[in-house]
Copies of this chain bind each other. A is one copy, B any other.
């Protein structure tokens, strides 16, 4: 609004104040920016696109602005910060206000910090998860089991989901998989799948695919499953802080909301992965499986290797091509991606009692080896809107070894950063193709990885970062 607008003066609205804006009975709470120029007239207000949508407004509409009612649930946040336990009602009140947009960034940060570290006990994790489920949509599938899979993330190239869905659906299980687009990574499963077929299906279309094929891999972002999660994740990212309770609530609220009954959880563990070491991984497993149990969800958690990327490709198209190579059982298909997908698919098959304990892996391996998974994957893609061939990028730049030696470590975070600077995931063909893995012996001048980009500017930007960050792949000279 204009700083000198009579509404601002009468209401005492000043810059950065929280203001409630009403269109009839719909309202949002927003942070006020004031302007001095002629962009707005007296009594006029400009709004963000998100506000236009939430208020369902048209240009020129009459809105009202006033002071938001006091945020009483902030009292519960303060209580948590001072070390008290919160109950179901407390979390309900907080999460309700969070989803309603009543919390400013400052206040969201306070809630995230109040729940940080190990400050939530098991009951509180259950309560928070329930609150997050309750404020969103909840899918019903009318049969059991409904199987699902989640990877805690932080490991570039870990694109097992499309392969797993194909295997377990081929085995007769129902796996209506909703995936996310990348948040901080160079590619989410939805980004990778979007290079192969349509992923922006609505619920009705998704149901048709699942009814005919037993599985799907679609983008879950438009379905309002656990909408509080998106809000909280943005804050956690800005603080770069680990919150075990919120991680548990984030993962499980989405699974329960999606209607899943059996879920396998993949926890890649390594010094530069999201889960840093085995101790943390085991605690997280306990909490995930324990809280899942309280919510009526059967869960198994699998600690996997998180010391290096999975496969060679990082970025939507580069990862999609490896998914296809595994499904087609091609000779150059990355064995680590294949084995990881088989392991997790085997766990799902066993959990759902579709194979005797201990034989799930073999069942999954057979389905992949004899082409049933590939056939199922093609059928799913066709049902989702037709299968596409992902195109490679026009610009590439090979990064070579500055000296001879053995590959002893990967910095997953900075590898992901290079792929993002190259344009991934917005530019789907952008990313990285690795030419080495842990233990590889390379000679000075041999290629370590190739950066792919869709524009020369992005290619050079990524290249600059590589030059100034020499430790992305560590080589140890051999004596």
Residues of chain A at the chain B interface (Cβ within 8 Å): 6, 9-12, 16, 33, 36, 39, 48-49, 74, 78, 81-82, 104-110, 113-114, 116-117, 234-235, 238-241, 420-421, 423, 426, 455, 457-458, 461
Q: How near does chain B come to A75, taking the closest CB pair, in angstroms?
A: 9
Q: How near does chain B come to A10, taking the closest CB pair, in angstroms?
A: 5
Give the chain B neighbours of A458 by CB distance below 8 A: 10
The 5 closest A-B pairs by CB, nearest first: A109-B109, A105-B105, A106-B238, A106-B109, A10-B457
Given A109-B109, A457-B10, do A78 and B241 touch, yes or no (CB 8 Å)?
Answer: yes
Q: Return the contact of A239 from the options B9, B107, B461 (Cβ within 8 A).
A: B107
CB-nearest residue of chain B to A14 = B426
Q: How near does chain B come to A69, taking the closest CB pair, in angstroms?
A: 11
Query: Chain copies in the assembly?
Result: 2
Chain A residues touching B, majority SS: helix
Q: How near does chain B come to A471, taking the closest CB pair, in angstroms?
A: 15
Give the chain B neighbours of A423 by CB distance below 8 A: 12
Q: Return the contact of A104 from the options B33, B82, B238 (Cβ within 8 A).
A: B238
Given A74-B240, A81-B241, A113-B81, do A12 and B106 touch, yes or no (CB 8 Å)?
Answer: no
Whether B11 and A461, one on each chain, are in contact in the complex, defined by CB atoms closer than 8 angstroms, is: yes
Q: How far is A457 from B9 in the complex, measured between Cα atoms in Å?
A: 10
Q: How near does chain B come to A52, taking the closest CB pair, in angstroms?
A: 11
CB-nearest residue of chain B to A461 = B10
Q: How near does chain B come to A39, taking the closest CB pair, in angstroms?
A: 8
- Given contacts A36-B49, A106-B235, A106-B239, could you give 5 more A-B pairs where the C-beta distance is less than 8 Å? A39-B39, A104-B105, A105-B109, A107-B238, A109-B113
